[in-house]
Amino acid sequence: MEGVKISVPQGAFYLFLDFSSYYGAEVDGFGPVKDSESLCRFLLDKAQVNMRHSPNLLPLHPVALVPGDAFGDDNCIRISYAASLTTLQAAVDKIKKAMVLLRPAVPV
């Protein structure tokens, strides 16, 4: 995914995805994505709102993620990969479709 860096897992079943290149990007009706918390809120809230207006934009359920600032890295969001490959692919597809609304504010 453009603008996203993935860190190598350290033995648990979580990935930390660095979306900091998107910080500063804005979406009409949402405002700027400033940090990991606002990015997670965007993926949960704004994606769900857009889905109502454009049913083909996203599948029926948004993806809930954990802001990385809770783990000492505000550049990242945390996602668990303790799920089936089908579930993980569906989650990544939802994230990709939501991120189309944003463009990286900083080239990667």
Choice between 58 and 89, residue whose per-residue pLDDT is larger: 89
Cβ atoms of 91 and 13 closer than 8 Å? no
Q: Is the pLDDT of residue 98 over 80?
A: yes
- Residue ranges per structural domain of the chain: 5-99
The predicted-structure confidence for 36-52, as pLDDT tens digits, reads as follows 999 999 888 765 644 44
For residues 15-35, give the mean pLDDT: 89
For residues 75-84, give the mean pLDDT: 89
3-state secondary structure 42-87: HHHHHHHHHHHHCCCCCCCCCCCCEEHHHHCCCCEEEEECCCCHHH
Domain 5-99 sits in CATH 2.40.50.140: no
Q: What is the pLDDT of residue 40?
A: 92
- In percent, the amount of the chain with pLDDT more than 90 equals 28
